[in-house]
Amino acid sequence: MEPGICYIKPEYLISEANGGGQTTSNDGDSNKRKHEEEADAQNETGNKRGGGKKERKRGQNKNRPVFKDERFSHLCHSLIDGPGGETCTLANCRYVHDLDAYLAAKGEDLGNECYVYATKGYCGRGVTCRFAKSHTDAQGRNMRGKDYDEQKPLTTCNGISAELQVRLRKHDYDFSRSKEVIKQAEKLRDERKQQAKEKAETAEEEPRQADVEPAIGSAIDDSPSGRDAPRKPVIDFREKLVLSPLTTVGNLPFRRICKEFGADITCGEMACAVPLLKGLGQEWALTKRHETEDIFGVQVCGNNPNVITQAAQVLHETARVDYIDLNIGCPIDLIYQQGGGSALMRRTNILELAVRSCAALSDKLPFTVKMRTGVYADKSVAHELLPLVEEWGASAVTLHGRSREQRYTKSANWTYIEQCAAQAKHMPVIGNGDILSYEDYVERRALAPHVNSVMIGRGALIKPWIFEEIKQQKIWSPTSTQRFEMLRRYCNYGLEHWGSDTKGVESTRRFLLEWQSFLYRYIPEELQLSPPQKINSRPQKYRGRDEMETLMSSSNAADWVKLSEMLLGPVPQGFSFVPKHKANAF
């Protein structure tokens, strides 16, 4: 059998006679080539390199269309609860004040029940809700349910308050703590450099005595973040299933789904330090946390230790977070070229200051680091960095078994992950890469016995129930009905999170479609010739056991839109969708 192909049982294969292209049990290679050519044609045309060979597209679809709907015009908040509400007092209010015209443009309701109203007893979107008839009276006024408790705590926290936003924008926030720990970190770094210099000079004169020579970084042993200091007891990162921080698709509704399936630790999408310090609402939205996320962290990205430390300080002081993670593995070109993400693996002086200072901010705030094997495929450096990061005070390190250069094109190197994990003295090491089944989990843990926990990213996007499989130690193969109900829950959570008005519905649809660009890759075990499915394998052309399963397996974005319409109603006129990631735009 050809590698990289998931072979399907003959009875589920689609033959050329059925209009699906020629796919039999021994033509996987031709099907794979056809699959790749379709991906190239759909993503970008005419892009060629040496010899006229088409380049396989990777990274982002940066030129994907941005859909704008005029119905997104906001109704003035004074009219949210319907006729007879407050009077708008703003002289230059830019929102809509003609309630009848707004309601006419809003269109028909998408359903008879508003999930937000049904679960909370009140829908804050009022008459703008696309399910408003379920909670408006005969006069069109927004109602509150009998059991609605206005004093009940919100189910979602974090984000940014208006007061904090003003303080950050006026540079009125007190960052004296950050400045102090940065000074201490610079002093310790300079001491380490001086010590290393003296050791190098001494080594030229006397034989090195390994049993008495202090380790690099021992100058910080007396500090709270030193390598021999007790580990911070706030979170035990050992033997946990961690959901990876996933840009775009790792949003709050998706994390709720993963928590329901057994994820132990969740982390928000990567937030850039500079926009956080500027008080940008869109960046602070990435810090939001649902009440079901009992262990929750925020991942930050930056290229300057002062900025990273200040972002960590303001998160610690104003948000409910259990830990902060520093991303030094992000492969995105823009981040890398600015010296952030995986570029920090080469800028060790900057990295040392960032880790030392953030780890020293608070004994109650664990600071962790997520890295790759290195920048280049043929030059791994994580085995050198990981012990240093521990000495600098990190509470845990996650190691993704690929380099920046490899992105996701090669299998994760768990042998190397084990080599690195074995060097940690006290710090937990979390392994990450290519886990899509319980069998993958068992195999990787056997390969890397020094790895304390496992982080799952793409595997959770394709099979969010993977956490449950691992905990129950058996494969679960949900029916198409069960998978559709999972999507329904996701949409409900999306309407609760992004809003049930037109803008919220379309935001939920967009994120659902981005997730579906991963979900369609799941192949039910009963259809596979030799399960379990491997994460980088692609299937032969196949049909499901019923129409819904076939629709869910489609690689055509138009079919993903059909699924969204079953859950969120018809798409607006002129709607189009191209996945953010080229690898998913088959």
Chain segment 151-209, per-residue pLDDT in tens: 888 999 999 999 999 999 999 999 999 999 999 999 999 988 888 888 887 776 665 44
List the domains of the chain with CATH numbers. 70-157 (no CATH), 176-472 (3.20.20.70)
User: Which one is catalytic: 6, 76, 272, 330?
Assistant: 330
Q: How far is the CA of 304 from the CAs of 310, 352, 571, in angstroms? A: 10, 11, 43
pLDDT at 447: 96
3-state secondary structure of 325: strand
pLDDT at 454: 98
Q: How far is the CA of 228 from the CAs of 286, 305, 355, 359, 366, in angstroms? A: 34, 24, 16, 14, 16
CA atoms within 13 Å, Cβ hemisphere of 349? 5
The pTM is what?
0.87
Q: Which residues of the chain have pLDDT under 50?
A: 19-55, 208-233, 585-586
For the segment 15-36, what is each residue's pLDDT rounded down to a tens digit? 855 544 333 334 444 443 444 4
pLDDT, the chain, mean: 86
Quick check: is 420 catalytic?
A: no
pLDDT at 310: 98
Between CA 411 and CA 56 the distance in angstroms is 18
Return all residues near 300 (Cβ < 8 A) that are at least 6 apart: 270, 271, 272, 273, 276, 308, 311, 312, 315, 324, 325, 326, 327
pLDDT at 416: 97
- Are 554 and 490 contacting, i.e. CB atoms less than 8 angstroms apart? no
Closest CA to 331 of 58, 583, 514: 58
Closest CA to 405 of 377, 370, 383, 434: 377
